[in-house]
Chains A and B, each alone.
Chain A
């Protein structure tokens, strides 16, 4: 219990030191605290078998480390363009995690839609709206210690619940999971994975697909209306200001 609390404190301190404003020495200290804290939490909540890893475990943990490290760099970077690029790397890590599960369509959709469309749109907005030089609001953050403690406590609580799952999984009826593992070979791990996903989406999950379509349409119209309405208001205000200046 005290070790868990120490892990939470280490994660909170590490994230506090990494958030802007960050000194050039404090960031290494913060990274060290964060790594130690995540190791402690992983000892509670994850199955980290030490250094004797099989090939698939090593692959999983490399993908996980890439994802988490680039997520931390996204949130703590002092340049918003660097944040976007680190987020792109985190998306690639997530895509690798999806592929590890055999979710081929999800892996490709993450890269194409998230990294290829959403991230590019963010970069467009950054291109249009970034000040010259480094902005002051990028070098400072709200309530560093408090928000880092909140995030660390949340991760600690979730990890301790996962740890309890670990304890109870020793009593798990692993024989009951055998049919799932073999049935997975015909459903998710089958070569016709995307065909099965399509069958599922358009038969059982048809309402989900239709709702997503309606949502996309409404979002498109809403985004256009927001920009048009804002521009209309700007025109009106400019005309009023010109009339006031004249009369």
Chain B
């Protein structure tokens, strides 16, 4: 594989990553999955930058990727602080709760019918208790009434 061919392959992978990230951001309703999609878009751009830097034997691509990594870390911190604040005020991670901030004139989105949830019948293993439970300390009996 010659150099231009490998560069082309890398750019194909990077464009796929960016497209999939954009799809996730546009279509998902969970705030966490939306932010994961944003990070995936940044990953696509990083792969493209690193490939171009390698192709031209240049450090600029890798330097910008390092900058992108630090930007992504900042963005994750601030976005997660925002998500926690929104969760405290709304009680869910659903972004449709805040759709009153949409453009005036567009229709609101109302859930018509939700598909049924997958119910997993989880069989947790039953382990035989082994050994003797240690005697609780004096401090533990002060705050733990189940063992006293």
Known: A80-B30, A117-B73, A154-B19. A174 touches B2 (CB 8 A): yes
Q: Counting CB contacts under 8 A, is B148 at the interface? A: no
Q: Counting CB contacts under 8 A, is B16 at the interface? A: yes
| Complex contact A223–B46 (CB within 8 A) | no
| Complex contact A135–B92 (CB within 8 A) | yes
Give the residue of B1, B16, B43 whose beta carbon is less than 8 angstroms from that of A47.
B1
| Complex contact B3–A180 (CB within 8 A) | yes
Determine how close the nearest CB of chain B comes to the CB of A94; give it in whole angstroms: 5
| Complex contact A196–B59 (CB within 8 A) | yes
Annotate B79-95 by CB proximity to A: 1 below 8 A, 0 otherwise.
01111110111001111
Determine how close the nearest CB of chain B comes to the CB of A205; give it in whole angstroms: 4
| Complex contact B93–A135 (CB within 8 A) | yes
Give the dominant DSSP class at A's interface.
helix
Q: Which chain B residue has the least Cβ–Cβ distance from A65?
A: B13
| Complex contact A125–B78 (CB within 8 A) | no
Known: A113-B73, A212-B66. A141 touches B29 (CB 8 A): yes
| Complex contact A144–B27 (CB within 8 A) | yes
Give the residue of A56, A106, A155 whose beta carbon is less than 8 angstroms from that of B66.
A106
Determine how close the nearest CB of chain A comes to the CB of B35; give it in whole angstroms: 7
Provide the residues of chain A in CB contact with B92, threshold 8 Å.
131, 135, 137
| Complex contact A68–B20 (CB within 8 A) | yes
Which A69-122 residues sit within 8 Å CB-CB of chain B?
71-72, 74-75, 77-78, 80, 83-84, 87, 90-91, 94, 97-98, 101-103, 105-106, 109-110, 113-114, 117-118, 121-122
Q: Counting CB contacts under 8 A, is A36 at the interface? A: no
| Complex contact A114–B36 (CB within 8 A) | no
Q: Counting CB contacts under 8 A, is B71 at the interface? A: yes
**A35, B81: Cα distance in complex, Å:** 37
Give the residue of B13, B32, B53, B109 whose beta carbon is less than 8 angstroms from that of A122.
B32
Provide the residues of chain A in CB contact with B85, threshold 8 Å.
226-227, 230
Known: A125-B83, A151-B23. A83 touches B33 (CB 8 A): yes
Provide the residues of chain A in CB contact with B37, threshold 8 Å.
74-75
| Complex contact A216–B74 (CB within 8 A) | yes
**A155, B22: Cα distance in complex, Å:** 10
Contacts from A to B (Cβ < 8 Å):
15, 19-21, 38, 41-42, 45-47, 54, 56-57, 60, 64, 67-68, 71-72, 74-75, 77-78, 80, 83-84, 87, 90-91, 94, 97-98, 101-103, 105-106, 109-110, 113-114, 117-118, 121-122, 125-126, 128-131, 133-144, 147-148, 150-152, 154-155, 158-159, 162, 165-166, 169, 172, 174, 177, 180-181, 183-184, 187-188, 196-197, 200-201, 204-205, 208, 211-212, 215-216, 218-220, 222-224, 226-227, 230, 234
Sort A-B residue pairs by CB-CB distance and give the 8 closest, nearest first.
A219-B74, A75-B24, A151-B23, A155-B19, A230-B85, A137-B94, A147-B26, A158-B15
A-B contacts, 13 listed (Cβ < 8 Å): A38-B16, A45-B8, A54-B1, A64-B13, A74-B36, A75-B20, A75-B28, A78-B118, A90-B43, A103-B53, A109-B69, A143-B26, A174-B2
